[in-house]
Structure 1
Amino acid sequence: MNDPGLEDDIVDASNQVSENRDKAYTDEEEEERSFLTPARWWYASTAFPLMAGTFGPMASAFNICALVEDWRVEIPTKGTEEHGLDIQDPEWLIAVNAVSLVCALIANLALLLNMARRVPFKIAQPVTIIGFWLASILLIALIAVASHRFDAPGIQNQALTQAYYYAIFAAGLYQLISYLMCVTVYGAYKDHYRKEFRLTVAQRTLMLQTIAFLVYLLLGALIYSKIEGWKFSDAVYWADFTSLTIGIGADYVPRTRVGRGLLFPFAMGSIIILGLVVSSIRSLILDRGKKKMSARLTEKTRLRLIKEIDNVVHEKRRLRAHMISLDKSTAQTLAAKPGDDKFAEMDRRQAEFEAMRKVQERATTERKYMSLVVSTFAFAFLWTIGALVFMKAEQNQNWSYFESVYFSYTTLLTIGYGDLEPMSNSGKPFFVFWSLLAVPTLTILVSDMGDTVVKAVKDATIWLGEITVLPSDEDSTRNRLKYGIYKATLGKAGYSHSYLKDVEEGSGIDDGEQELQPGLARLFGRHGRSRPNRNVRETGDRVAADFERSEKADESHARKHGERSEEDEHHYRHALLSEIRKVYADTTAATPKRYSYAEWARFLQLLGEDEHDSSYHSRAIDAERGSSTEEGPNESKQEATFSRKDEGKDAEQKKSWSWLGVRSPLMGDKEEAEWLLEKLLQRLEQSLHGEGKEKEEGVKQETQNHHRRKRSHPEAAEKEADDGTSENTVTGTRSQGGQKGTSEGGGHHD
Structure 2
Amino acid sequence: MSHVDPGLDEPMRQAEKDVERNDNQPTEDQAKKEEEVYLDPGRWWLASTAFPLIAGTFGPISNAFSICALAIKWRVYIPPDTNEAHGQPLADPKWLTAINAISLAFALVANIALSLSMARRLSFGIAQAIIISGWYIASFLLIGLVAACSTSMFLLQPKTDHALTQAYYYGIIAAALYFIIASMMVMTTIGAYTGHYRKGFKLTSSQRTLMLQTIMFMVYLLLGALVYSHIEGWPFLDALFWAEFTLLTVGLGGEFVPLTHSGRGLLFPYAIAGIVMLGLVVGSVRSLALERGKQKMSARLLEMRRESVIRSLDNHEGSVKLGAFEKIKVKQPLSERERREEEFKIMRRVQRKADKRRRYYALAMSSLAACLLWCLGAMVFWFSEKPQGWSYFVSLYFTYTTLLTIGYGDYTPQSNSAKPFFVFWTLLAVPTLTILISNMGDTVIQAFEDLTIWLGSITVLPDEGGFQALKVGFQRLREGKLYKSPDNEDEKNQGSAEEIILDRLARHMEEEEIEEAEEAETELDSLERDIRFYHFVLAKEIRALMKDVSMSPPKEYTYHEWAYFLLLLGQDESDASHHTRPGLKHTILPHEPDLGTAEGVEHENRWSWLGIRSPLMSNQSEAQWLLERLTMTLELEMRKMQPANRKEAELNPPPISMRDFRSKHRKSDPHSPSHPQSKSTSKSLGPDKLLDQGVSRAEVRRRHG
**TM-score bracket, shorter-length normalisation:** 0.7 to 0.9
Among residues 614, 626, 641, which one is paired with 1:664 in the alignment? 614
Secondary structure of the 1:159 match is strand
- Residue by residue over 1:269-319, the C-alpha shift from the partner in whole angstroms, topping out at 9 and shown as x without a partner, is 11111122122222322321011101110000000111112xx23xx3563
Paired with 1:184 and 1:641, the residues of 2 have a C-alpha distance of 43
Paired with 1:567 and 1:682, the residues of 2 have a C-alpha distance of 21
Among residues 456, 460, 469, which one is paired with 1:483 in the alignment? 469
CA distance 1:228–1:410, change in 2 (3 Å): same
- Aligned counterpart, 1:347: 338
How far is 1:422 from its partner?
Answer: 0.3
Q: How does 1:339-418 map to 2 (within 5 A)?
A: 342-418=333-409
Paired with 2:590 and 2:172, the residues of 1 have a C-alpha distance of 54
- Aligned counterpart, 2:81: 78
Secondary structure of the 1:272 match is helix
Q: How does 1:733-748 map to 2 (within 5 A)?
A: none
Paired with 1:665 and 1:441, the residues of 2 have a C-alpha distance of 34
Paired with 2:120 and 2:55, the residues of 1 have a C-alpha distance of 16
Are residues 1:103 and 2:106 paired? Answer: yes
Are residues 1:219 and 2:223 paired? Answer: yes
How far is 1:174 from its partner?
Answer: 0.2
Paired with 1:242 and 1:504, the residues of 2 have a C-alpha distance of 51
- Residue by residue over 1:130-156, the C-alpha shift from the partner in whole angstroms, topping out at 9 and shown as x without a partner, is 111111011011011001025787887
How far is 1:34 from its partner?
Answer: 1.3
Paired with 1:553 and 1:650, the residues of 2 have a C-alpha distance of 36
- Aligned counterpart, 2:60: 57
Letter in 1 for 2:72: E
- Residue by residue over 1:105-126, the C-alpha shift from the partner in whole angstroms, topping out at 9 and shown as x without a partner, is 1111111222223323222222
How far is 1:53 from its partner?
Answer: 1.1
How far is 1:205 from its partner?
Answer: 1.7
Among residues 131, 135, 141, which one is paired with 1:138 in the alignment? 141
Q: How does 1:286-365 map to 2 (within 5 A)?
A: 286-309=290-313, 312-313=314-315, 316=316, 319-321=319-321, 323=323, 328=328, 331-333=329-331, 342-365=333-356
Letter in 1 for 2:345: E
CA distance 1:492–1:431, change in 2 (3 Å): closer
Are residues 1:568 and 2:518 paired? Answer: no
**Residues 326 and 355, structure 1, Cα contact 8 Å, conserved in 2:** no
Secondary structure of the 1:86 match is strand
**Residues 639 and 655, structure 1, Cα contact 8 Å, conserved in 2:** no
- Residue by residue over 1:721-746, the C-alpha shift from the partner in whole angstroms, topping out at 9 and shown as x without a partner, is xxxxxxxxxxxxxxxxxxxxxxxxxx
How many residues end up aligned between the 2 structures? Answer: 599
Structure of higher RCO (CA pairs closer than 8 Å, 6+ residues apart): 2
Secondary structure of the 1:226 match is helix
How far is 1:323 from its partner?
Answer: 2.0
**Residues 454 and 473, structure 2, Cα contact 8 Å, conserved in 1:** yes
Paired with 2:397 and 2:143, the residues of 1 have a C-alpha distance of 33
Q: How does 1:523-602 map to 2 (within 5 A)?
A: 552=514, 555-556=517-518, 562-602=524-564
Paired with 2:590 and 2:276, the residues of 1 have a C-alpha distance of 47
Letter in 2 for 1:686: L
- Aligned counterpart, 1:676: 626
CA distance 1:43–1:403, change in 2 (3 Å): same
Letter in 2 for 1:613: D
Paired with 1:660 and 1:197, the residues of 2 have a C-alpha distance of 33
Among residues 407, 414, 419, which one is paired with 2:410 in the alignment? 419
How far is 1:195 from its partner?
Answer: 1.5
- Residue by residue over 1:6-41, the C-alpha shift from the partner in whole angstroms, topping out at 9 and shown as x without a partner, is xxxxxxxxxxxxxxxxxxx85664333111126330
CA distance 1:504–1:660, change in 2 (3 Å): same
How far is 1:503 from its partner?
Answer: 6.5
- Aligned counterpart, 1:458: 449
Paired with 2:570 and 2:453, the residues of 1 have a C-alpha distance of 44
Are residues 1:204 and 2:208 paired? Answer: yes
Among residues 65, 70, 83, which one is paired with 1:67 in the alignment? 70
CA distance 1:89–1:645, change in 2 (3 Å): closer
Paired with 2:473 and 2:345, the residues of 1 have a C-alpha distance of 21
Paired with 2:226 and 2:512, the residues of 1 have a C-alpha distance of 68
CA distance 1:647–1:385, change in 2 (3 Å): closer
Are residues 1:267 and 2:271 paired? Answer: yes
Q: How does 1:647-662 map to 2 (within 5 A)?
A: 648-649=598-599, 655-662=605-612
Letter in 1 for 2:118: M
Letter in 2 for 1:405: L
CA distance 1:205–1:559, change in 2 (3 Å): farther
Secondary structure of the 2:641 match is helix
How far is 1:179 from its partner?
Answer: 0.5
How far is 1:457 from its partner?
Answer: 1.3
Among residues 686, 689, 710, which one is paired with 2:636 in the alignment? 686
**Residues 62 and 178, structure 2, Cα contact 8 Å, conserved in 1:** yes
How far is 1:652 from its partner?
Answer: 7.7
CA distance 1:393–1:189, change in 2 (3 Å): same
How far is 1:687 from its partner?
Answer: 1.1
Paired with 2:347 and 2:453, the residues of 1 have a C-alpha distance of 30
Letter in 1 for 2:270: F
**Residues 128 and 178, structure 1, Cα contact 8 Å, conserved in 2:** yes
- Residue by residue over 1:207-244, the C-alpha shift from the partner in whole angstroms, topping out at 9 and shown as x without a partner, is 11111000000000000000000001001100111111
How far is 1:554 from its partner?
Answer: 5.8
Paired with 2:114 and 2:219, the residues of 1 have a C-alpha distance of 17
CA distance 1:692–1:195, change in 2 (3 Å): farther
Q: How does 1:712-727 map to 2 (within 5 A)?
A: none
Paired with 2:467 and 2:641, the residues of 1 have a C-alpha distance of 60
Letter in 2 for 1:399: W
**Residues 644 and 653, structure 1, Cα contact 8 Å, conserved in 2:** no
**Which range moved further: 283-292 or 226-235?**
283-292
How far is 1:199 from its partner?
Answer: 2.2
Secondary structure of the 2:89 match is strand
CA distance 1:655–1:641, change in 2 (3 Å): farther
Secondary structure of the 2:618 match is coil
Normalising to structure 2: TM-score of the pair?
Answer: 0.79
**Residues 52 and 177, structure 1, Cα contact 8 Å, conserved in 2:** yes
- Residue by residue over 1:55-79, the C-alpha shift from the partner in whole angstroms, topping out at 9 and shown as x without a partner, is 1111110000001111011110121
Paired with 2:323 and 2:646, the residues of 1 have a C-alpha distance of 57
CA distance 1:664–1:503, change in 2 (3 Å): closer
Among residues 179, 184, 187, which one is paired with 1:180 in the alignment? 184
CA distance 1:654–1:644, change in 2 (3 Å): farther
CA distance 1:39–1:562, change in 2 (3 Å): closer
**Residues 645 and 653, structure 1, Cα contact 8 Å, conserved in 2:** no
**Residues 203 and 283, structure 1, Cα contact 8 Å, conserved in 2:** no
CA distance 1:306–1:231, change in 2 (3 Å): same
Paired with 1:646 and 1:402, the residues of 2 have a C-alpha distance of 63
Paired with 2:612 and 2:622, the residues of 1 have a C-alpha distance of 15
**Residues 641 and 656, structure 1, Cα contact 8 Å, conserved in 2:** no
Q: Unmatched 5+ residue regions in structure 1?
A: 1-24, 337-341, 506-544, 632-637, 698-750
How far is 1:600 from its partner?
Answer: 0.4
Paired with 1:211 and 1:271, the residues of 2 have a C-alpha distance of 15
**Which range moved further: 359-368 or 146-155?**
146-155
CA distance 1:327–1:266, change in 2 (3 Å): same
Paired with 2:596 and 2:393, the residues of 1 have a C-alpha distance of 71
Among residues 183, 189, 204, which one is paired with 2:193 in the alignment? 189
Paired with 1:552 and 1:129, the residues of 2 have a C-alpha distance of 65
Letter in 1 for 2:487: D
Superposed CA RMSD in Å reads: 3.1
**Residues 592 and 633, structure 2, Cα contact 8 Å, conserved in 1:** no
- Aligned counterpart, 2:503: none
CA distance 1:429–1:696, change in 2 (3 Å): farther
- Aligned counterpart, 1:502: 487
CA distance 1:601–1:390, change in 2 (3 Å): same
